[in-house]
């Protein structure tokens, strides 16, 4: 009986599903060590801030993040004044005012991230017909998540001999079919970091992937903490129940 109990607990612990899914057919994805990996993983605030900086200065020219509001950036460690200043760099239409006119005003922390395009047609027109997808949930929308993102951003390599690539397309090592309409968005030294981190494509790709992982799963840390608490509770509860069972059956056995 005791053995059965221990086996059951062990089986339960092992059955906690692994979040890693790095299989995209024949394409080998890089396997980066992220601080958010594993049951105790957490986000790295400094990496998130750098990643946001990369998104803001590079990716946001083409990619929206509709699900995020500026106030959500408090989770990255920015204070209220910093968030106000970040939001106020952008403007949006609002209204109507008392005279019935629409007007443009600076963004506020409660506003959602600015969309670079007014509508899908404008987005396609600006990108040779290709649509830059919204980045809010992109790490959830692609197999491999942050590893895929990192692989994509660092995957602009020379195509193999004889690989046909048409006008407006670029070779990418991890993109399905190896053709993507997005030109390599990153190059060394395009974003100036203030914390002394390397200003390389590799570092930018890590940081922006980290940021996009957080954007898609901002409550991951709470979820993991809760998972650990639940397991601890179940273990303690199993122990108590075992003691109770022994006590109840003690007389019977005698």
**Minimum distance between the CB of residue 206 and ligand HEC, rounded to whole angstroms?**
11
Distance between CA atoms of 97 and 100, rounded to whole angstroms? 5
- Single out the segment in contact with ligand HEC by CB under 6 A; choices: 17-25, 31-39, 55-63, 232-240: 55-63
Give start and end residues of each alpha helix (H) in the chain: 2-14, 45-57, 80-88, 120-126, 138-141, 145-153, 201-216, 220-253
Considering the complex, what minimum distance in angstroms separates the CB of residue 45 from ligand HEC? 19
**Rounded least distance, CB 111 to ligand HEC, Å:** 21
Query: Could you say whether residue 63 binds ligand HEC (CB under 6 A)?
Result: yes
Restricting to residues 222-251, name those near ligand HEC by CB under 6 A.
Answer: none
* 208 makes contact with ligand HEC (CB under 6 A): yes
| Cβ-contact 111, 171 below 8 angstroms | no
Query: Whole-number minimum distance, CB 126 to ligand HEC, in Å?
Result: 8
Q: What does the block give as tokens for 218?
A: 């901002």
Q: Examine residue 184 and tell whether it contacts ligand HEC (CB under 6 A).
A: no
Candidate ranges 156-164, 178-186, 189-197, 228-236; the one touching ligand HEC (CB under 6 A): 178-186
Closer by beta carbon to ligand HEC, 72 or else 169: 169
* Interface with ligand HEC (CB under 6 A), residue from 182, 213, 215, 216: 182
Of 95 and 198, the one with the shorter C-beta distance to ligand HEC is 198
From 59, 73, 191, 215, residue interacting with ligand HEC (rule: CB under 6 A): 59
SS3 223: helix
Cβ proximity of 109 and 89 under 8 Å: no
d(Cα 186, Cα 57) in Å, to the nearest integer? 11
Q: Whose structure tokens read 């980045």?
A: 135
Query: Regarding beta strands 27-28 and 91-94, do their DSSP bridges make them parallel or antiparallel, or are they unpaired?
Result: unpaired
Q: Which stretch binds ligand HEC (CB under 6 A): 72-80, 177-185, 215-223, 241-249?
A: 177-185
Stretch (H or E) spanning 177? none
The radius of gyration computed from the CA coordinates of the chain, to the nearest angstrom, equals 24
Of 29 and 107, nearer to ligand HEC (C-beta) is 29
Contact string 122-141 vs ligand HEC (x = CB under 6 A): -----x--x-xx----x---
DSSP assignments along 123-165, one per residue? HHHHTTT--PPPSTTHHHHSTTHHHHHHHHHT---PPPTT---
96 upstream amide cis, omega within 30 of 0 = yes
Stretch that binds ligand HEC, among 51-59, 75-83, 155-163, 235-243 (CB under 6 A): 51-59
Contacts with ligand HEC by CB under 6 A lie at 54, 58-59, 61-63, 127, 130, 132-133, 138, 142, 149, 152-153, 175, 180-182, 185-186, 208
């Amino acid at each position: 009986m005791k053995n059965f109990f221990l086996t059951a607990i062990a089986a339960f612990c092992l059955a906690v599903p692994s979040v890693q899914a790095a299989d995209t057919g024949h394409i080998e994805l890089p396997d980066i060590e992220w601080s958010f990996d594993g049951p105790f993983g957490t986000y790295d605030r400094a990496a998130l801030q750098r990643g946001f900086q990369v998104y803001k200065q590079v990716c946001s020219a083409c990619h929206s993040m509709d699900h995020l509001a500026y106030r959500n950036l408090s989770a990255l460690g920015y204070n209220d004044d910093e968030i106000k200043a970040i939001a106020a760099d952008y403007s949006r239409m609002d209204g109507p005012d008392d005279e019935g006119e629409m007007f443009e005003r600076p963004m506020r922390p409660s506003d959602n991230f600015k969309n670079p395009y007014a509508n899908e047609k404008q987005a396609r027109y600006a990108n040779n017909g290709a649509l830059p997808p919204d980045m809010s949930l992109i790490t959830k929308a692609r197999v491999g998540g942050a590893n895929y993102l990192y692989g994509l951003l660092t995957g602009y390599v020379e195509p193999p001999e004889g690989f046909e690539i048409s006008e407006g397309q670029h070779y990418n090592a991890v993109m399905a079919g190896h053709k993507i309409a997005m030109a390599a968005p990153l190059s060394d030294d395009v974003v100036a970091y203030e914390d002394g981190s390397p200003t390389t494509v590799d570092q930018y790709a890590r940081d922006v992937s980290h940021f996009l992982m957080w954007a898609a799963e901002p409550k991951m840390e709470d979820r993991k903490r809760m998972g650990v608490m639940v397991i601890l509770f179940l273990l303690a509860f199993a122990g108590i129940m075992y003691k109770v069972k022994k006590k109840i059956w003690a007389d019977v056995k005698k």
